[in-house]
């Protein structure tokens, strides 16, 4: 059963195309992230689902009911959606309790429901506060409670954590994730933050230039991106040249297993993720060697950039290493790789072209 289904949704503002033929199926009870750079059309997509904008073409089905399509337009207030915008946008003239109760009718269980939601988001006791008396994170929690109060068919989160500082963001993200899981709501999260999308979502739709590039689980997106651009967009990627034979790719790092053998033989490009690369302080004779360009320490691990000595299809190799070993810039190291890799037929891009952002 799908709570939300988009078919061929298009949108333009004047002559500017923002969305071109979006298809998306969101399973009931799942958390789907729409990941894309700013300007990719993701916020517009969310606003169309919410009913704040009309789709130019295509259909939107919410809970099995057509909400937007030829001759049909269900206004926002009848869509049973919960919307949490970037800034929270609490009603400034209402207390926390009144904000949360906004969408509830005047029935008896109202205040009990408000208390329940406040407990769910961990803000019990703050009923009487006004929005300006809350921190940014608290405001977002109230905004989430307000959206969940109406028991929505779909909860829409528009970059809900981007206005918060990094520490708060991580903890609030975890909290919101568990709140959403407990509530059993179907959630669509719009974000430009990869960590946010990969860590929170069951499935991620990567969108750029108004079209969905890939819609998959976070693991498959990361390990088996559909094309080289997506590989570079999601996390760091080493795209190296290879030749394929019998399910094995021969690269400068040695022979590596390939996930799916690309059509044709001959020259290929394979994706080697930085954590697949292993560095040795003393390079062997038949091994790819290189010179350390720089070393960034993150505590849990470290990222080392290396200029390879021999040709391998990339001018710089990025390796993610345990933080326990330090590689000084200028040091000579040996490189090898382990694990399965993704392969595409054809040439590597002439220069590792940085994808959007």
With residue 302 as reference, give the H or E element that holds it.
strand 301-308
Binding mask 91-110 for other proteins (x = CB under 8 A): xxx--------xx-------
Nearer to other proteins by Cβ, of 48 and 343: the residue is 48
The CA distance from 107 to 97, in Å, is 15
For other proteins (CB under 8 A), the number of binding residues is 52
Stretch near other proteins under the rule CB under 8 A, chosen from 139-147, 196-204, 218-226, 252-260: 139-147
Count of residues for the chain? 357
279-298 positions binding other proteins, by CB under 8 A = none
Interaction of residue 308 with other proteins, rule CB under 8 A: no
Nearer to other proteins by Cβ, of 54 and 255: the residue is 54
Stretch near other proteins under the rule CB under 8 A, chosen from 124-132, 221-229, 254-262, 297-305: 124-132
Interaction of residue 43 with other proteins, rule CB under 8 A: yes
The answer to whether 118 and 127 are in contact (CB under 8 A) is yes
Q: By C-alpha distance, which of 193, 199, 194 is closest to 176?
A: 199
Nearer to other proteins by Cβ, of 102 and 297: the residue is 102
At 317, is the secondary structure helix, strand, or coil?
Answer: strand
Interaction of residue 85 with other proteins, rule CB under 8 A: yes
Nearer to other proteins by Cβ, of 49 and 288: the residue is 49
Nearer to other proteins by Cβ, of 93 and 300: the residue is 93
**Continuous H helices in the chain:** 42-50, 96-101, 110-120, 136-149, 166-183, 194-200, 218-223, 228-233
DSSP 133-156: GS-HHHHHHHHHHHHHHT--SEEE
- By DSSP bridging, strand 238-245 and strand 266-272 are antiparallel
175-204 positions binding other proteins, by CB under 8 A = none
The answer to whether 138 and 170 are in contact (CB under 8 A) is no
Question: CB neighbours of 53 closer than 8 A, spacing ≥ 6?
Answer: 11, 44, 47
The answer to whether 335 and 317 are in contact (CB under 8 A) is yes
Interaction of residue 76 with other proteins, rule CB under 8 A: yes
Interaction of residue 136 with other proteins, rule CB under 8 A: yes
Interaction of residue 149 with other proteins, rule CB under 8 A: yes
The answer to whether 187 and 157 are in contact (CB under 8 A) is yes
Residues near other proteins, by CB under 8 A: 13, 16-18, 37-41, 43-44, 47, 50-54, 75-83, 85, 87-93, 102-103, 130-134, 136, 139, 146-147, 149-150, 156, 163, 209-210, 356
């Amino acid at each position: 059963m799908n709570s939300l289904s988009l078919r061929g949704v298009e949108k333009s503002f004047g002559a500017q195309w923002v969305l071109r033929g979006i298809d998306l199926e969101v399973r009931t009870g799942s958390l789907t992230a729409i990941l894309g750079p700013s300007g990719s059309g993701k916020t517009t997509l969310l606003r169309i689902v919410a009913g704040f904008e009309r789709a130019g073409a295509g259909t939107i089905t919410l809970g099995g009911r057509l909400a937007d399509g030829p001759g049909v337009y269900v206004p926002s207030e009848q869509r049973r959606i919960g919307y949490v915008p970037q800034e929270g946008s609490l009603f400034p003239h209402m207390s926390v309790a009144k904000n949360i109760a906004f969408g509830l009718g005047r029935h008896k269980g109202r205040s009990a429901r408000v208390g329940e939601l406040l407990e769910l988001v961990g803000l019990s006791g703050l009923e009487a506060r006004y929005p300006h008396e809350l921190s940014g994170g608290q405001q977002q929690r109230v905004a989430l409670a307000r959206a969940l109060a109406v028991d929505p068919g779909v909860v829409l989160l528009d970059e809900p954590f981007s206005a918060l500082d990094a520490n708060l963001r991580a903890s609030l993200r975890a909290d919101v994730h568990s709140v959403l899981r407990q509530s059993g709501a179907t959630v669509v999260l719009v974000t430009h933050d990869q960590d946010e999308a990969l860590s929170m979502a069951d499935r991620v739709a990567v969108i750029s230039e108004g079209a969905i590039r890939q819609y998959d689980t976070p693991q498959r997106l990361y390990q088996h991106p559909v094309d080289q651009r997506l590989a570079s967009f999601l996390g760091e990627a080493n795209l190296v040249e290879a030749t394929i034979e019998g399910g094995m790719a021969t690269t400068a790092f040695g022979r590596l297993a390939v996930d799916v053998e690309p059509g044709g033989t001959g020259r290929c490009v394979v994706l080697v993720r930085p954590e697949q690369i292993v560095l040795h302080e003393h390079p062997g004779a038949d091994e790819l060697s290189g010179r350390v360009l720089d070393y960034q320490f993150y505590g849990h691990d470290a990222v080392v950039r290396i200029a390879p000595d021999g040709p391998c299809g990339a001018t710089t190799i990025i390796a993610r290493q345990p933080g326990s070993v330090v590689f000084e810039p200028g040091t000579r190291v040996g490189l090898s790789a382990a694990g399965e890799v993704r392969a595409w037929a054809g040439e590597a891009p002439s220069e590792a072209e940085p994808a959007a952002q």
